[in-house]
Amino acid sequence: MQTIISDLNQKIVGDTVVDFWSDYQKAIKSKTLENFRREIKNKRIINVRRIGKNIFIDLSENKTLYIHLKMTGHLLVKPQITNHKSQNFSHPPTSSPIGRGRGEGAKNYFDDKVNQYIHHIFYLKTGRTLEFSDVRKFAKIVLDDTRKIKELKEIKALGMDALEKKFTLEKFGEILEKRKDAPVGTVLMEQEKISGIGNIYRSEILFEAGILPQRKASSISVKERIKLYNSIQKVLKKAIKLRGTSDSDYRDTAGAPGNFQKALKVYRRNGAKCKKCGIIITRVKMGQRSVFYCPRCQK
DNA sequence: AGTTGTGTTGAAGA
DNA sequence: ATCTTCAACACAAC
C-alpha cells in the first residue's frame, strides 16, 4: 500500500487528468459516470497520501480522489501509447490494453492475468494512463471536495495509521484496554482502532511477537504489549522495504509483485513446518478470516 | 464438479 | 451495543 503511494508520488504528481473511462460505474460512488468524468477532467495531480488502506489523490481546485482497492484492486501507471489509432473515449480499449511500452527483454507485468481486469482508466496529459484493474470489482472510487472526503463516515471512523508517529505504545495500550474481551488477533485488524493492518500482516505480527491470536487483549502483559507494538512496526516496515506482499494478487504501479511473500513465516503456511521450531503451522478462523500461527513459538 | 478460500468492509441479523 | 454472518464479485485451488 505504501509502495503504491510512493510510486504514484514519484510518477504522476504534476500530471493532469485529461479524460476518464469506466466500464463499471458501480465502483464510482455518489456520482454518475458522466459527472465524474466531467469533474475530473483538467485536474492536476498535487499529492498522493493514505490512511491505512485508503488512498487519497489530491487534485487541483481542492478536489480529492479517494480510492479503496479492497481485495484485488491495482493501480497501474502505463507509459504513453505509441502506435495508437484515433482514440474514442466512449469506447476505449477494444481488447485488454496489454503489451504496451516497456523495453524489449524486460518482463512485461502488464501481461499478467491479474493486471488485465481494467475497469477504469484515467488518461493523463503526458499521454500515460493510470489504469485501475480489479478482478472482483469490490474497489471503490469517490471524487469530491477534499474537505468533504475528510468528512466521509468511513474516513472519520478510521483509527490512527499503524505507522504514523501519533500511534504510540501508550495509545496502543489504551486500545487494548478498551477491547479487553476481544482476541488480540481481532483487535489488530480493526481499522477503526488501528488502520493499516490486514489479514496477512496480523498473522506475521503475532508470530514475530510470539503471541497467540486467540489471547484476550486483557491478558497481554506490559512486556508482551511492548513486544507486540514493536512487532507491528518491524513487520510493516520490512514489508514496505520489500515492496509489499504478493502471496495472492497485490501488485505495484508497474504491475510487479512485491517480495515480502518470500519472507512470510506463518501466513498461508498451514501444514508446513515452522521456520523457527519445526512444528506444524496451524490455521484457525477468526471472524471469517484465516489466522495462522505456530503453536509452539506463540504463547 | 461442487466447495472453499481470497492485502476488505459495510450492512443485516441476533 | 456488540458480535456473527452475509453479501458485493470472480477465479483458482482443493
Q: Is the pLDDT of residue A85 over 60?
A: no
The helix or strand, by DSSP H or E, that contains position A224, with its residue range, turns out to be helix A222-241
- Kind of pairing, strands A63-68 and A289-293? unpaired
Q: Is the pLDDT of residue A171 over 60?
A: yes
Predicted pLDDT at A82: 62
Span of A82-86, A112-116, A210-214 with lowest mean pLDDT? A82-86
Q: What is the pTM of this model?
A: 0.93
Contact A76, A133 (CB under 8 A): yes
Residues contacting residue A249 through CB under 8 Å, at least 6 positions apart: A71, A72, A74, A114, A135
Q: Return chain A residues 75..114 having CB < 7 Å to nucleic acid strand B.
A: none
The grid coordinates listed for A191 are 481499522
Contact A203, A291 (CB under 8 A): yes
Query: What DSSP string describes A186-202?
Result: HHHH-TTTEES--HHHH
Q: Return chain A residues 202..261 having CB < 7 Å to nucleic acid strand C.
A: none
Cβ contact A29 with chain B strand, < 7 A: no
- Chain C positions with an atom below 7 A of a protein C-beta are 3-12
The grid coordinates listed for A232 are 507491528
Q: Is the pLDDT of residue A90 over 80?
A: no
Question: pLDDT of A191-249, one tens digit each?
Answer: 999 999 999 999 999 999 999 999 999 999 999 999 999 999 999 999 999 999 998 88
Span of A26-35, A103-112, A209-218, A253-262 with lowest mean pLDDT? A103-112
Average pLDDT, chain A: 92
Cβ contact A244 with chain B strand, < 7 A: yes
Cβ contact A138 with chain C strand, < 7 A: yes
Question: pLDDT of A119-155, one tens digit each?
Answer: 999 999 999 999 999 999 999 999 999 999 999 999 9
Cβ contact A181 with chain C strand, < 7 A: yes
Protein residue closest via CA to C1' of C4: A287
Contact A73, A139 (CB under 8 A): yes
3-state helix, strand, coil in chain A (%, to 5): 30, 25, 45
* Of residues A24, A22, A16, the one with CA closest to residue A45: A16
The grid coordinates listed for A150 are 475528510
Q: Is the pLDDT of residue A32 over 80?
A: yes
Residues contacting residue A103 through CB under 8 Å, at least 6 positions apart: none
| Distance between the alpha carbon (CA) of A289 and the C1' atom of C6, Å | 14
Cβ contact A18 with chain C strand, < 7 A: no
* Of residues A138, A189, A186, the one with CA closest to residue A159: A189
